[in-house]
Structure formats: C-alpha cells, structure tokens
C-alpha cells in the first residue's frame, strides 16, 4: 500500500525575510498591491503579521491590526495556484483566533464589492456588512467603494 504524505501546513509569524515571497504573490493577486514598505512598516509597528507555509513554501499571509476592543484585517492573500482550496479559510480562522486572544470583540475588514471570492469567504465565516466607504479603493477606472464587514469574535466556528 502506498502511503500518501500530506505536506505540512504551518502558520508562522511573518518576518522581514518573508517579504520577497509575499510581494511575488501580492503583485499577482492584487490589482493595487501593497508595497514592500507597507509590509515592513506593519511588522515594525507590531501589527500581527502571519504567513502560511505548505511543505515549506510560503503560500499565503495576512496582516491584522489589533486595537483595544476591535481588530482590523488589513490584507490577506493566497498564491493563485492554491486559491479555492481552503487556505484563505485557514488564514481567516487564524486571524480571528489571534484577534480574539488579543482581546478584540470584533473583527473588521474592507472588501471591494467586485471581489466575489473574498466576499463569499467572509460571508461563509459570518461577516456582515456594516457600512460602505465611498471611493475607498483605487480602481482601473477611477475609484471603487469598499464594503465594511464585521464579525463578532465571542465564538469562532467554521
Ligand atoms: C480572497 C482569498 C484570500 C481567499 O483565499 P482562498 O484560499 O481562495 O479561499 P478559500 O479556498 O478558503 O475559500 C474561498 C472559497 O471557498 C468557499 N469556502 C471557504 N470555506 C468554505 C467552507 N468551509 N464551506 C463552503 N465554502 C467554503 C468560499 O465561499 C469561496 O468559494 P469559491 O472558491 O468557490 O469561490 C484569495 O482568493 C486571494 O488571495 N485573493 C486575492 C487577494 C484578495 O482579494 N484578498 C482579499 C481582499 S479583501
């Protein structure tokens, strides 16, 4: 019988050494990517920054800003070839757990109304729209609104 070895999935704190790999993903998956300075500043500011590695390969990441009673998911990304396989869900679940353990009662995030996969993921995890920020995002033609979503963190199930 052949044993099928699943690659190890690890969730690890982001370090400056990860940023080259992150930017390679970021520039592929975002139309308006974060810069190196955005990631460096996030780490230096003490934001909760994490990467997901599968068999050692960096395949996803997120940046979370923790405030007194709420947390804000600033960015999340998964490498194209691994999208749709549940890694976004793993990252989001981890972000919610980190936020909850950090004392946040609510997790907030912004998302483009056109980003159907991300919206489906957030809705699956119980995020609800609480507002709209008009013209929040740069877009190919002018500006695009952001939907503001929130999710209470008292219980986390997926
Ligand atoms: C958004 C993003 C992070 C999601 O990561 P992902 O690995 O593709 O997400 P998942 O595979 O975990 O989940 C997404 C899909 O599974 C669904 N899903 C996730 N968990 C599920 C579950 N337990 N049961 C049913 N459906 C589930 C979602 O609704 C969605 O459906 P789809 O793949 O059919 O479109 C990723 O697509 C990405 O990097 N996109 C580009 C950057 C981006 O837009 N970031 C978000 C900015 S707000």
**Per-block average pLDDT, block size 10, for the chain (158 residues)?**
83 98 98 97 98 98 95 98 97 97 96 96 97 92 93 75
Between the CA of 143 and the centroid of ligand 1 the distance, in Å, is 24
Q: What angle do CA 52, 103, 13 make, to 5 degrees?
A: 20
Are 100 and 156 a contacting pair, CB within 8 Å? yes
Between the CA of 61 and the centroid of ligand 1 the distance, in Å, is 13
Atom of ligand 1 nearest to the CA of 73: 48
Note the pLDDT of residue 1: 60
CATH superfamily of 9-152: Gcn5-related N-acetyltransferase (GNAT) (3.40.630.30)
Note the pLDDT of residue 5: 83
Between the CA of 8 and the centroid of ligand 1 the distance, in Å, is 20
Per domain, the residue ranges of the chain are: 9-152
Closest CA to ligand 1's atom 26:
124
**Residues with Cβ < 8 Å from 152, sequence gap 6 or more?**
105, 106
């Amino acid at each position: 019988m052949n044993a099928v070895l699943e690659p190890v999935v690890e969730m690890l704190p982001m370090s400056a050494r990860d940023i080259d790999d992150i930017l390679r993903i970021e520039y592929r998956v975002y139309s308006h990517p974060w810069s190196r300075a955005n990631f460096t500043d996030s780490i230096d500011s003490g934001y909760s920054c994490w990467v997901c590695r599968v068999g050692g390969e960096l395949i996803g990441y997120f940046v979370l800003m923790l405030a007194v009673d709420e947390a804000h998911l600033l960015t999340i990304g998964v490498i194209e070839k691994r999208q749709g396989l549940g890694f976004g869900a793993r990252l989001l679940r981890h972000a919610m757990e980190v936020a909850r353990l950090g004392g946040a009662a609510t997790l907030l995030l912004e998302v483009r109304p056109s980003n159907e996969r991300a919206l489906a993921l957030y809705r699956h995890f119980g995020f609800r729209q609480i507002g709209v920020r008009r013209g929040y995002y740069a877009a190919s033609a002018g500006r695009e609104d952001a939907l503001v979503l929130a999710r209470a963190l008292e219980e986390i199930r997926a």
